[in-house]
Amino acid sequence: MLAMADDTKFILLFLLLSSSSLCFGSEQDIQCLKSVYQSVIDPNGVLKSSWNFEDGTVGFICRFTGVECWHPDKNMVLSLRLGNLGLQGTFPQGLQDCASMTGLDLSNNKFSGPIPQDISRQVPYLTSLDLSYNSFSGSIPQNISNMTYLNVLILQHNQLSGQIPPQFDLLTRLSTFNVVDNLLSGSIPPSLLRFPAWNFDGNQGLCGAPSDDCPRSRRRWRPVRIKLHRLNDESSIGAAVGFVVGFVVAFYFPHCFVCSERLRAYVVRI
C-alpha cells in the first residue's frame, strides 16, 4: 500500500519533471508574456490586475486574461486574445518567445505605429491575425505572405497605406480577409478577388486585378458619385444666382427682357 503510493508519487514526479523539461516552451512563453506586458500601455489596468508573474504555479499564465494555453497545465501559449481591453502603444514586443502561438487578436484597442516588417519571423505559425479597429499605420508588410498557415487576416479600420503586397497571392489558406476602412491604393492581388468587394471598401485608391483597367473596375463609381454631388451643389448655387439676377434684370429692364405683349403687361403691373 505504502509502496504503491510511493510509486504513484514517483511516476507523478517523473511526469512533472519530464513535461517541464521536454517543453522548453514554459520559460520562453512566460518571458514572452512579460515582454508583452512591459511593452504595452494598459490605462485600464486590465493586464495589471490579472497578469501576476509572481504566481509561478503549474499553468499559471493560462489563467491570465486573454491567454489561451495548449493545455491548462502547461505554460504554452496557444493564442493571445487581447481585444477590447483599451490597450495602447506600438505592436507588442517579445512575441517570438511565444513560439507555438497560433492566434493573435489585438482588435478594438488603440495600438498605433507600424506592423513589424518581420512579423512572419516573430509569429510564423499564426492561423489567425486580427488587428482590426486600431490605428496601425504604414504599409502592410510583405512578410505576412510568409505566414503560410494564415486562415484569417483582419486589418479592418486602421490607417494602413500603400498597396496590398502582390505576394499575398501565396496565402492560399485564407478564408477570411478584410481591409475595410484603410488608406490603401493600387491593385488588389488577383487571388484575393475571390473575396466579396465589400471586404475592400473604404479605401479610396484600391482597384481590381493588375490586368484590369483600374478606372473600369470597382473604383469607378466613387469619383462619379463625388462628381454628381459637386454638380448638384454647383447647379443649385447657379440656379439661385440665376434666379436673383434674372429677377433684378426683369424688374428693372422688363422691355428688353420680355417680348410678348401679354407678359409685358403682366411684368409692368408688378
C-beta separation of 161 from 137 below 8 A: yes
Does residue number 143 form part of the binding site for ligand NAG (CB under 6 A)?
yes
Q: How many CB atoms lie within 10 A of CB 65?
A: 12
Closest Cα partner for 176 from 154, 198, 207?
154
Does residue number 122 form part of the binding site for ligand NAG (CB under 6 A)?
no
By C-beta, is 79 or 143 nearer to ligand NAG?
143
Q: Segment contacting ligand NAG (CB under 6 A): 103-111, 117-125, 184-192, 245-253?
A: 117-125
Q: Segment contacting ligand NAG (CB under 6 A): 24-32, 141-149, 179-187, 224-232?
A: 141-149
By C-beta, is 146 or 161 nearer to ligand NAG?
146
Q: Segment contacting ligand NAG (CB under 6 A): 11-19, 112-120, 178-186, 226-234?
A: 112-120
Smallest distance, ligand NAG to C-beta of residue 168, A:
9
Query: Binding residue for ligand NAG (CB under 6 A) from 9, 48, 110, 121?
Result: 121
Query: Binding residue for ligand NAG (CB under 6 A) from 167, 176, 204, 232?
Result: 167
Long-range contacts of 180-188 (CB under 8 A, 24+ apart): 180/156, 181/156, 181/157, 182/155, 182/156, 182/157, 182/158, 183/159, 184/140, 184/160, 185/161, 186/162, 187/163, 187/212, 187/214, 188/164
C-beta separation of 159 from 113 below 8 A: no
Query: Binding residue for ligand NAG (CB under 6 A) from 6, 73, 118, 233?
Result: 118
Does residue number 117 form part of the binding site for ligand NAG (CB under 6 A)?
yes
Alpha helices in the chain (DSSP H): 2-22, 25-39, 46-50, 119-122, 221-252, 254-257, 261-269
By C-beta, is 28 or 120 nearer to ligand NAG?
120
Alpha helices in 86-196 (DSSP H): 119-122
Judged by CB under 6 A, the number of residues near ligand NAG is 10
Q: Segment contacting ligand NAG (CB under 6 A): 49-57, 114-122, 247-255, 256-264?
A: 114-122
Does residue number 28 form part of the binding site for ligand NAG (CB under 6 A)?
no
C-beta separation of 21 from 74 below 8 A: no
By C-beta, is 109 or 120 nearer to ligand NAG?
120
What's the DSSP call for residue 212?
S
Smallest distance, ligand NAG to C-beta of residue 167, A:
3
State how far the Cα of 99 lies from the Cα of 25, in Å rounded to an integer. 7
Torsion of CA 24, 28, 29, 30, to 10 degrees: 120
Backbone angles phi, psi at 123, to 5 degrees: -135, 70
Q: Segment contacting ligand NAG (CB under 6 A): 12-20, 113-121, 150-158, 180-188?
A: 113-121
The residue length of the chain stands at 270
By C-beta, is 50 or 117 nearer to ligand NAG?
117
Residues in contact with ligand NAG by CB under 6 A are 117-118, 120-121, 142-143, 145-146, 167, 170
